[in-house]
Structure 1
Amino acid sequence: MASEDNILQTNALAVREYIHSQPQDALLNNPWAVYQALDLYSRTARLMNFKQAKLNIAQDALTTMETAPKVILEFGTYIGCSAIAWAAILRDLHGPFAEGLHVYTFEVSETVAEVARDLIRVAGVEDIVHVIVGPASESLKQLVEEGKVKVKGVDMAFFDHWEKFYLSDLQLCEDLGLFHEGSRVIADNTDIPGAPDYLEYLRAGGRGGEGSVRYETESFQSEPVSERRKPNMVEVSTVVAAP
């Protein structure tokens, strides 16, 4: 695990160096330009990232919500690429001066979190995106205790961290009462490496029983399947009941 962490940190630092080597006039305070630069770099450097084809699926899910989203939880920050995109989507939906727009994103590495914060500052969305260091479950509980995240106050939760925690973190959101009817839940990499317990849970509609959160869910293929298998699926779920 230590060596993997070192690789992730080294790659994150390389991303920051790349972004700061690009013409800054095109990037400063332009979240979509920063996202596109990160997406391009991730393709050439084979860096894990929430790439454009997958973002298109998620963006459609957000922009078609009956009430435009304002508050997003993201489990897995890494370099902040998807968090920057969420902030750009929220601004596009509500306008550049809208209040109450928040993306709370969780990262376990302080080194990687600092890279993400730097890129978020370049994009000019540090007023929207809040990078929180530590285990996601504990960080989320603290946000609720502090009143920053409110009951029925989460419009979308995005899972892109360790797949083995997808289900437990989803259920934590339920237990804290964070979802409302219409909330979206989006998960990456549900095919490779895969999150079978998470998918089984959503396809069953949730826990079941009176007073439980209920879901409808759909799997989307982001790109044509090739001989060289790579993560391709995005799971988009909608809360249809939130007692």
Structure 2
Amino acid sequence: MAHPYHDIKDFQSFCKARAIALHEHVSALPAEKFKENPWELVRAIENFANTEKLPMIFRENKMNLARAALANMSPKPKVIVEFGSFVGNSTVAWGAMLKEFYPDNNSGIRVYSFELDPELAGIARDIVKLAGMSDIVIVIDGPGAESLKGLVKNGDIEPESVDAVFFDHWEDIYLTDLKLCEELEVFHKGSVVMADNTDIPGAPKYLEYVRGNMDEQAGTTQYQSKTHLIPNSSISDGPRALEVTTVI
């Protein structure tokens, strides 16, 4: 979808300015409004995005597709890794979903979210804290690949312990980071990988790989993949796709 910015740096600057404005907005709201109600905060962020032109958030229509994919897992997921926190709305949502899946025992549930920009990572941490999710959600600033390597090296993430991964950073490196997950052996049979915006801007090499259409996939982790589109959407020229891939 075309945007009125001269280059990617202009767009990034705009997004960051709107993220800072969001941070100021939600920080001024009564904290008790979101206590024990993380979904209220997720909705508040989307409402701000709608009225104040905050792009790049993972919206409710796609979030519902992701929730359905995770709810269909057996057993339900406990550990989710997210590449691309941005302002933390999806980060909070993953934590809320995990708590819903395990209402009586939160032991072992964890969300690890990676954000390249340290200022945005700080905003995401504040959003997580406001939602009361700091006990299970960890936001790490720095390149996602290096962050994941560090967690594995330190033993925070053990082999075959990641139940779900969400890619929502740069489409050009979705495949690179997927291959890193394979190399580090964090997946297990039944792990789910969700990738946003695989239609626009698009991630053709990633899609070819998870759909088994690339020769190099032979002998590696095998996948079953399906594209989910936002239902009943009026969007005609924007991203509608969420690719949901299962390790088989």
Mark yes or no: TM-score above 0.5. Answer: yes
Structure having the higher strand fraction is: 1
Q: What is the SS of the residue equivalent to 1:72? A: strand
Q: What is the SS of the residue equivalent to 2:191? A: strand
The alpha carbon displacement at 1:226 in A equals 4.0
Match status 1:61 vs 2:91: no
Aligned 1:79-98 pairs, distance under 5 A: 79-95=87-103, 97-98=105-106
Q: What is the SS of the residue equivalent to 1:220? A: strand
Match status 1:136 vs 2:144: yes
Partner of 2:191 in structure 1? 183
Of residues 176, 179, 183, the one that matches 1:168 is 176
Match status 1:46 vs 2:56: no
Q: Deviations over 1:154-204 (max 9, x none)?
A: 000000000001000000000110100000000100011000000111111
Q: Does the 8 Å contact 1:156/1:185 carry over to 2?
A: yes
Q: Does the 8 Å contact 2:209/2:217 carry over to 1?
A: no
Partner of 2:18 in structure 1? 11
Distance in 2 (alpha carbons) for counterparts of 1:115 and 1:208 = 38
Match status 1:148 vs 2:117: no
- Contiguous gaps of at least 5 residues in structure 1: none
Partner of 1:200 in structure 2? 208
Q: What is the SS of the residue equivalent to 1:181? A: coil
TM-score (norm 2): 0.91
Aligned 1:97-136 pairs, distance under 5 A: 97-136=105-144
Distance in 2 (alpha carbons) for counterparts of 1:29 and 1:4 = 34
Q: Does the 8 Å contact 1:75/1:161 carry over to 2?
A: yes
Query: In percent, how many aligned pairs have the same letter?
Result: 41
Distance in 2 (alpha carbons) for counterparts of 1:161 and 1:227 = 21
Q: Deviations over 1:43-102 (max 9, x none)?
A: 222322110110000000101101110111100000000010000000000116411111
Q: Does the 8 Å contact 1:53/1:222 carry over to 2?
A: yes
TM-score (norm 1): 0.93
Q: For residues 97 and 165 of structure 1, do their structure 2 counterparts lie closer, same or farther at Cα, with a shift above 3 Å needed?
A: same
Aligned length: 239
